[in-house]
Amino acid sequence: MSEVTKNATSTENLVTEENTPFDPLDMNNYRIEKLPKMVKSGFEKWMALAGGPLAILLFIYFYWFAKIPFLEHFDVSILGKEAAKRFGEVGASGFTRINYAMLAIFVGAIVLWITEAIPNYLTSLILILGMVLTGVTTDKVAYAQLGHPVMWLNILSFVLASMLVKTRVAKRFALWFVIRFGKNATMIIFSFMVINIVLSAFISATTAKATILLPIFMVVAAIYGARGGDNRNNLGRNLVLQNLFQINMGATGFLTGSGANLLAGAMIAGAMGWSSFSYQDWFVAAFPLCLILMIIGWIIGTKLIFPLKKEENQPQIDGGMDRLRTELAKLGKMTFEEFKAIAIFVIVLGLWATDKQHGINQTAVAFLGAVVALLPGIGIVKWNDIDIPWHLLLFSAGAYTLGAGLEATDLPATLVDVLFNAIGINANTPFILIYSMLTGAMLFSELLFESKTMRALIFMPISIGVANKFGFSVLSLAFPVALLIEHVYVLPFNSKPAALLYTTNHYSWSDTLKFGLTMMMISWFMIMLWGETVLKWLGYTNGLIAP
């Protein structure tokens, strides 16, 4: 074939592809790589441009020039022995150069993460290097965070999630459930609640869950007339925003629901002198709360904030639900590989759920499942089949390194002590006020931080330090704060699933603010109610109201 003929053929194929009408019911159209990249608004562009110079200036100021009087004197009794020793060695000057270095790195990293002036993983790499060069921690400690047990759990979770994707078990289950129980639009939204709970029990990565579910609920939205952009409707808003909410709340119900949960559990266990936090204990306290919040979100979304019109409750496209039945039929009968995938996941879940009986921790159980899944001749996936987002893992490694520095310098405890002294919080302050302040701070921090891991690393040490300072049980403050880690759904930059689902163009910033802030306030009320009732019955608190 001549070069001219080849070019002509290529041009003809290109034209044919471009002229092919867009099929809103083709799930392949909603693969992540095909979603449009959202163009930053003017304010977001300004933030990105200003973020780099601002971070550099703040780092220079805090590292070389800052001398903050109210940080120079504070109660060292709340600090660890090593930190207290360092403060004793410098006498009245208190806040050492290492502490200022940690503060400088912390502030600079936060600015870069929020403004997205550079990619988040690059911020993490700079952060790790900065902590080594400034002497905040040793290179061994800083670099070792990539081998943190929670990092391993994240990697192994992507192995197990890739197994679900390759065998199409997750897609089959989601399609079957929607077809079986989705009698109308309202019930379809409800059905995704159940799907998210089931996936949360098996998948320790909210981004992986969002990736699996996105093409399915996009097709469902198209069936009911929601195409995004100029064709937005309340069904589409509900379907996407509630999936975002449910993805995160589903993760709350299980200790293994996300790496941030496991990190929080490890911190609590360390403070309590335990080997690990029990999967069973977390589930008993957390799962009912996550289920109640999901149901409230379903009611609030479909009845109050984005009420469904009569026409939105019925299919608006030829074929309707038959198209989903066609997609399910294309999968054919269950294969032996699918049955093997289900068996592996059931065994992994069973071992997680009985951790108190056999004593094997969650990461080791995930190791077992991943090894079996990868075994030649027995397993289901090969290494090349596994989709591991290393940029996210590098971002997490930076967040863990930041946490190691905060722990080494006791910066959170220092700042909390200063704040509490400034506003008059002391041992005579009612427990309910301290409880509401810490849980509120964790919730509202989602408006600033986009990493659940980072929020856990900042607020878990604070809650543990406050409990120790005032003589409360660590569990009475740290566990309620841990139950709020997954609340990252208000703004598009609050989490990776939020950023991903925002690209569907089914809702605006004002839409997500209305629904997200409403659910955040309800969640704050619920964690207060939980502290007075369920957590009291389970022995984690003595109740919030003094007898």
Mean pLDDT of each 10-residue bin along the chain, 547 residues long: 43 44 57 59 82 95 81 51 44 65 90 84 91 90 82 77 78 76 77 86 76 76 74 86 93 88 88 86 95 95 89 67 80 90 84 79 84 88 80 78 79 74 82 94 83 82 87 94 93 78 84 94 96 95 78
- Report the C-alpha gap between 444 and 115 in whole angstroms: 18
- Provide CB contacts within 8 A for 285, sequence distance 6+: 479, 483, 534, 535, 538, 540
CB crowding 245-264: b at 16 or more within 10 Å, else e: bbbbbbbbbbbbbbbbbbbb
pLDDT at 176: 82
pLDDT at 54: 95
Q: Tell me 41's DSSP state.
A: P
Q: Does some domain include residue 69?
A: yes
pLDDT at 83: 45
Question: Residues 274, 328: one domain?
Answer: yes
- Of 385, 406, 431, the one marking the end of a domain is 385
pLDDT at 18: 46
Q: Does some domain include residue 59?
A: yes
Count of CB atoms within 10 A of residue 536's CB?
16
Q: How far is CA 24 from CA 28, 109, 225, 328, 543, in A?
A: 10, 41, 10, 17, 52
- Report the C-alpha gap between 62 and 60 in whole angstroms: 6
Please check whether residue 398 is in contact with residue 129, taking contact to mean a CB–CB distance below 8 angstroms: no
Q: Does some domain include residue 332?
A: yes
Question: Residues 179, 299: one domain?
Answer: yes
- Provide CB contacts within 8 A for 429, sequence distance 6+: 470
- The upper half-sphere exposure of residue 186, i.e. CA atoms within 13 Å in the direction of its Cβ, equals 13
Question: Residues 138, 157: one domain?
Answer: no
Q: Does some domain include residue 302?
A: yes
- Of 350, 385, 420, the one marking the end of a domain is 385
| N-term to C-term CA, the chain | 90
Q: pTM score, two decimals?
A: 0.74
Question: Residues 376, 356: one domain?
Answer: yes
- Provide CB contacts within 8 A for 334, sequence distance 6+: 172
Question: Residues 296, 352: one domain?
Answer: yes
Q: Does some domain include residue 450?
A: no
Q: Does some domain include residue 462?
A: no
Question: Residues 189, 271: one domain?
Answer: yes
- Report the C-alpha gap between 283 and 265 in whole angstroms: 12
Question: Residues 281, 303: one domain?
Answer: yes
**Residue ranges making up the domain that contains 335:** 150-385
Question: Residues 137, 154: one domain?
Answer: no
Question: Residues 130, 267: one domain?
Answer: no
- Of 112, 142, 172, the one marking the end of a domain is 142
**Amino acid, single-letter form, for residue 516:** G
- Helix ranges, 333-449 (H): 336-353, 355-358, 362-374, 390-409, 411-423, 431-444
pLDDT at 162: 78
Question: Residues 125, 164: one domain?
Answer: no
Rg over alpha carbons for the chain, rounded to the nearest Å, is 25
Q: Does some domain include residue 363?
A: yes
Question: Residues 86, 223: one domain?
Answer: no
Question: Residues 131, 215: one domain?
Answer: no
Overall domain count for the chain? 2
Q: Does some domain include residue 10?
A: no
